Amino acid sequence: MEFELWWLLGIPVLFGLGWLAARVDMRAVVSESRTLPRGYYKALNFLLNDQQDKAVDAFIEIVRLDPESADMHFALGNLFRRRGETERAIRIHQNLLARPDLPQDQKDHARYELGMDYLKAGLLDRAEETFDALIHGTYSAPARRALLEIFQREKEWPRAIEAAIGLQESGAGSRQKQIAQFYCELAQDALVHLHPDQALALLEQSLQADRVNVRATMLSGDALLAQGDVEAALVSWRRVEQLSVPHVALVAQRLMDGYRKVGRPQEGLNLLKSYLEQASSIDLIEVVYKVVLELEGLDAAKQLVSNELRRTPTLLGLDKLLEARLVDAPANVVPELSLVKNLLHGYTQKLARYQCSHCGFKARQFYWQCPGCSRWETYPPRRTEELNVMN
């Protein structure tokens, strides 16, 4: 291929064209920045400094001066919702939807924000209707997530299952653990209404969704017990150990009651002692202590609590030890020992809480769904003090 002299002339031409294109782009950026209202930067600065009240005032002024600016309306509506002024947020997003000149993508945006307003205000029927209109468009995934939240709030578990499956099929990630919990909720309701056969069928679906679901395994034992099959119930409850050793504390009393029903209480006690060696917890100690006291006597019960306190020193354990010591304490030391026990017990009640690992919400009882953040399976099956000692 021969070299042509005129090719050299193309180099500066191409360089000049590139320089010109860059200048045009920069001018466009500068031009666009000049079209933004001056108050926009002021409002943005307030937001960055977490001064929401001042940011709202600044955006209100921008919207007043430029009522056609949809983006500013969205920003203002979101700020109102974050401040809890849902009525004002609803009006803003409704006004946007009413504009005939609004492009379709912004209409969908306004509809989604309106649904979030309704959700925040607790107007669940309106929120559901609004999100239903979005599940086949650009906002499909967030709309489905919002619908899933609504169905959980309303405890409409069949619809929650349907929504979770739809969300999963849309490519928004696995929802199998949630689906398993929804089936557990339905099964628990069936057990309350004395329908163990129906409960077992629902729990089988739960385990198909999540084979390692501890709750479904526990409830299967409850359903089998309700059918009168104690041995099968014991097998199901013992399976909890294979899934999660710490969770055996939640089935300890069930197991002991079951072994009593079949006339093998010592076998049940030996099993619980083996669990205690693997995963000591105050809830498990509570159950084992009472059974040891009943079957093996006071000295064995005191020795059990003393050994566990040495292994895992907690105030909750000390409280239990003082309780054991009071049973046969000399009459002259009972008043002082009782005083110490009562003072300690009052304090340990604050420590005897389960705590959500996601939001930190504390509760006296164990929850599968956190009452604070509504997440599933975020409660460790141990009390807060025990977790602090372990950490």
pLDDT for position 29: 37
CB atoms within 10 A of CB 17: 10
As a whole number of angstroms, the distance between CA 142 and CA 167 comes to 9
Mean pLDDT (whole number) for 34-40 = 48
Question: Residue 376's beta-bridge partner residues?
Answer: 369
368: pLDDT confidence band, cut at 50, 70 and 90? very high
pLDDT for position 91: 84
Q: Name residue 188's amino acid.
A: Q
CB within 8 A of 275, min separation 6: which ones? 241, 245, 248, 249, 252, 284
Query: pTM score, two decimals?
Result: 0.75
Asked if residue 370 belongs to a known ligand binding site, the reply is: yes
As a whole number of angstroms, the distance between CA 73 and CA 133 comes to 22
- Contact (Cβ atoms closer than 8 angstroms) between residue 58 and residue 42: yes
Tens-place pLDDT, residues 132-166: 999 888 898 999 999 999 999 999 999 999 999 98
pLDDT for position 45: 52
CB within 8 A of 124, min separation 6: which ones? 118, 150, 153, 154
Tens-place pLDDT, residues 169-213: 888 888 999 999 999 999 999 999 999 999 999 999 999 999 999
As a whole number of angstroms, the distance between CA 30 and CA 24 comes to 10
CB within 8 A of 309, min separation 6: which ones? 317, 318, 320, 321
69: pLDDT confidence band, cut at 50, 70 and 90? low
pLDDT for position 172: 80
Asked if residue 356 belongs to a known ligand binding site, the reply is: yes
pLDDT for position 279: 82
pLDDT for position 80: 78
pLDDT at 217 over 90: yes
Asked if residue 373 belongs to a known ligand binding site, the reply is: yes
Instruction: Please return the burial class of 125, using the count of CB atoms within 10 Å of its CB with bins 0-12, 13-18 and 19+.
Output: exposed
387: pLDDT confidence band, cut at 50, 70 and 90? low
Question: Residue 362's beta-bridge partner residues?
Answer: 355
Asked if residue 184 belongs to a known ligand binding site, the reply is: no
pLDDT at 48 over 60: no
304: pLDDT confidence band, cut at 50, 70 and 90? confident
- What domains can be seen in the chain, in order of their start residue? 68-172 (1.25.40.10), 174-243 (1.25.40.10), 353-391 (no CATH)
| Phi, psi at 354, each rounded to 5° | -90, 145
- Kindly state the tokens that stand for 323: 């309780």
Phi/psi region, residue 63 (left: phi>0; alpha: psi -120 to 50; beta: rest), is: alpha
Tens-place pLDDT, residues 274-283: 998 888 788 8
- Kindly state the tokens that stand for 352: 């005897």
70: pLDDT confidence band, cut at 50, 70 and 90? low
- Contact (Cβ atoms closer than 8 angstroms) between residue 335 and residue 370: no
Range with the poorest average pLDDT among 125-129, 245-249, 304-308: 304-308
